[in-house]
Amino acid sequence: MDNCIFCKIIQKQAFADIVYEDPNLIAIIPLEQASKGHTLLITKEHIENLFDIDEETLQIVAVGVKKLTKKLVYENKPTGINLLHASGKDAQQSVFHFHIHLVPRYKNDGLDLWIRNKL
């Protein structure tokens, strides 16, 4: 995809702080971090969202999340972690290339990423 920033990062046509890479996945530090160690895990194949990802690739992503979580815990010593994902414009997806946010959490970090029922 010519205009996809993640594709440009994967092809090394745009700079990013890459913290993990394998044949199927790449992990980068986002420009705006919610917490110390906040990382994006991105499929190397351009897949728009959860609706389009095949099961095999989703399994690869799940294993990648586990590996990256271990790395984040080792390096940053968080006491918890949030996994965040948005699929589709109405879910606030901002980059239309499949990715998962791994947000390390720390005691008294002041973040509130949990959903509140507003109905």
pLDDT tens digit string along 68-87? 999 999 999 999 999 999 99
68 assigned to some structural domain: yes
Task: Report the C-alpha gap between 9 and 12 in whole angstroms.
Answer: 5
36 assigned to some structural domain: yes
118 assigned to some structural domain: no
Q: How many CB atoms lie within 10 A of CB 101?
A: 17
Q: How many domains does the chain have?
A: 1
Which pTM value belongs to this model?
0.92
Query: Annotated catalytic sites, by residue?
Result: 99
Interval 22-35: pLDDT, tens: 999 999 999 999 99
